């Protein structure tokens, strides 16, 4: 079957997915929104793709961590999805022990009939359930090996030195350990919404401590809050009532991954 792969926002896992597809000379294009490559804030509202007019879409399209606007006309093509972010995705809600099968990278490897290398296991675990991986819950992923690789990978992705990334992680860990807990309805988290510190999610994952933080606005300019290292019970409460109770809108939760968020009104 001839296949076109359409991918969403770039991150270390997507870089590896594209590298693997490149070894197979696959037809790969990036999803766009209003003619611009998608970012995490709009990757499920794509309306096109970056492509050469000389190479139209194949008969089957695989969407990797992206989605088209409602009613998009595929012109009779069949489609399938590789993802783990939303309910209904093949990898959504799968536990840390199944990180490879759950991750988008693992799904691509399975589709191509490949096994995972040790580094690909690190990439998959870090993307699907970073906190659980740091706590030793992902088979084949030693926590200290993960930490060493993460610092190097994040430094390369951000065009920084490993030493500067490690210094940011250390400062964020100190901030988390010194922060006060907030609580509501029996759930507790360290409240760091007033602090703008890089690497807070990484530090939270290493420590295994639930936090709430306020990252810088994304490319769409919207201000949000994120929760990290929350249990599935806490994330379900956050999604169903907690975020709105605390004054936020459009909450989301990635069960099995410890991650959630919402937007300021």
Please report whether residue 235 resides in a domain: yes
Q: Among 41, 67, 82, which residue terminates a domain?
A: 82
160 within some domain: no
Residue 138 lies in a domain: no
Q: DSSP E strands: which ranges in 73-168?
A: 78-82
Q: Which domain holds residue 229?
A: 176-263
Q: Is residue 246 one of the residues assigned to a domain?
A: yes
pLDDT digits (tens, 9 = 90+) for 30-44: 999 999 999 988 999
* Number of domains the chain is built from: 2
Compute the half-sphere exposure of residue 157: CA atoms within 13 Å on the CB side of its CA.
Answer: 14
pLDDT at 155: 94
Final residue belonging to a domain, choices 61, 82, 103: 82
Choosing from 63, 82, 101, the residue where a domain stops is 82
Asked if the structure places residue 155 within a domain, the reply is: no
Three-state DSSP class for residue 50:
strand
Q: Residue 113 region, left (φ>0) first, then alpha (ψ -120 to 50), else beta? A: left
Tens-level pLDDT at each residue, the chain (265 residues): 699 999 999 999 999 999 999 999 999 999 999 999 999 889 999 999 997 556 788 999 999 999 999 999 999 999 999 999 998 999 999 999 999 999 999 999 999 999 999 999 999 999 999 999 999 999 999 999 999 999 999 999 899 999 999 999 999 999 999 999 999 999 999 999 888 888 999 999 999 999 999 988 877 788 999 999 999 999 999 999 999 999 999 999 998 889 999 999 9
Enumerate helices (H) and strands (E) in the chain, giving the number of each.
Answer: 9, 12
Are 52 and 64 in contact by the 8 Å Cβ rule? The answer is no
pLDDT at 53: 58
Q: What is the pTM of this model?
A: 0.89
Judge whether 135 lies within some domain.
Answer: no
């Amino acid at each position: 079957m001839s296949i076109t792969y359409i991918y969403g926002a770039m991150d270390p896992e997507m870089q590896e997915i594209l590298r693997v597809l490149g070894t197979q000379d696959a037809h790969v294009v990036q999803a766009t929104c209003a003619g611009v490559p998608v970012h995490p804030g709009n990757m499920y509202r794509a309306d096109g793709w970056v492509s050469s007019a000389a190479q139209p879409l194949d008969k089957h399209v695989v969407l990797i961590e992206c989605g088209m606007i409602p009613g998009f006309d595929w012109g009779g093509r069949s489609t399938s999805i590789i993802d783990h972010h939303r309910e209904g995705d093949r990898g959504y809600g799968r536990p840390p022990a199944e990180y490879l099968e759950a991750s988008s990278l693992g799904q691509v490897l399975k589709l191509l009939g490949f096994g995972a290398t040790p580094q690909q296991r690190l990439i998959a675990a870090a993307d699907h359930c970073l906190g659980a991986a740091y706590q030793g819950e992902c088979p084949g992923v030693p926590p200290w090996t993960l930490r060493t690789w993460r610092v190097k990978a994040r430094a390369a992705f951000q065009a920084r030195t490993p030493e500067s990334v490690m210094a940011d992680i250390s400062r964020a860990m100190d901030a988390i350990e010194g922060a006060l807990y907030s609580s509501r309805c029996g759930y507790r988290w360290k409240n760091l919404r007033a602090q703008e510190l890089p690497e807070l999610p990484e530090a939270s994952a290493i420590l295994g401590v639930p936090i709430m933080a306020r990252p810088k606005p994304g490319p769409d300019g919207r201000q949000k809050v994120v929760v990290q290292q929350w249990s599935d019970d806490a994330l379900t409460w956050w999604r169903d009532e907690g975020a709105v109770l605390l004054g936020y809108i459009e909450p989301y939760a990635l069960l099995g991954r410890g991650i959630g968020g919402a937007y300021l009104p």
